[in-house]
Amino acid sequence: MTNPDKPLHLLHGQLVEVRSSREIAATLDADGKLDGVLFMPEMARYCGSRIRVSRRADKTCVAGHGLRSMKSTVFLQDMRCDGGFHDGCQRNCLFFWKEAWLKPLEADVEPLQAEAPLDSTALTWLNQLPTRRDGRYFCQSTELYTATRELSRWDITPFIREILHGELSLHEFLKIILRTVQHRFFGWEEPGYLVGPQGKKNKGDLNLQAGEWVDVKSPEEIREFLDSKGSNCGLFFKPTMSDALGGRYQVEFPVKKIILEQNGKMVNLTNTVALKGVICQGVCVNNCPRSEYLYWRESWLRRADAAVAGTEHPVVMRQTEGGEV
């Protein structure tokens, strides 16, 4: 294993090239990690690709542990895990990319798809990196706690950097401060927090498929399908999802199974979908950059009228930390 290069300080919009399989393999330890961040087999096909940085990952939410810090790590535009080496997990997580796996390019260089690998031995090794260990799945998400470091709840340095990098507006920063004060000192619930009556809850039975249009029900209607903790059969309606109430969206895909970040176990879901464009930008967890999908029970939705189904209400969602059950 070779030592990584010095930090590149890559920023939003910067064009980079994913290094070759040989170069990346040389940075990894025997577990396929660099600085605790796992390089996953699903990432190997991007070797040689040119793409732009979407955001830095100087901090991130970790399920069950809140915000934690990272170093020399970024996200690349729309590069998500397809679960191909993890039994079809559908969390569609954005990959974490260490800067040592990337090289900056001139702004006028044309982006391109991955070229044919020059080192089949290194590529084969990357494709054979472990995906299960000790009865649990092994991926960037399940290893995220050990890949991150403790971040003081009073440390505003990461937010200052995000403001300087254009990843957080001053207005959003002040909203985070206000929400934090309200929650920690006055015990206020997050805006949009919904709970319902006791009793067995219906998941719905719409059998929704990718491409269908749905309307998100009103708060009053959704409460009927939530228990006193805001859950529907273990799946929580998160406060940030309230931004989509009453909107019309297209189904991205039915969610059948996901790996839980907390324990590495695969769980099956029924009557649950992800909606196109309805993803998290992390404001509810202090600007977490992971952009995770939100999961919707079919009982919270209704099929849109076919005559007006093409009338969409686009929105970019912001979610609390992940880890559904």
- Domain parsing of the chain, residue ranges: 15-150, 157-186, 191-325
pLDDT tens track for 30-75? 999 999 999 999 999 999 999 999 999 999 999 989 889 999 999 9
User: Taking a C-beta distance cutoff of 8 angstroms, is the pair 92, 293 a contact?
Assistant: yes
pLDDT of residue 316: 41
Provide Rg for the chain, Cα atoms.
20
Question: Residues of the chain whose pLDDT is less than 70?
Answer: 1-5, 107-118, 182-191, 281, 283-285, 306-325
pLDDT of residue 102: 97
pLDDT of residue 323: 41
Measured at the CA of 182, the angle between CA 177 and CA 187, to 5 degrees, comes to 145
Q: How much is the pTM? A: 0.85
pLDDT of residue 306: 60
pLDDT of residue 271: 98
pLDDT of residue 322: 40
pLDDT of residue 315: 47
Find, among 164, 168, 177, 325, the residue nearest to 259 by Cα: 325
Which residue type occupies 231?
S
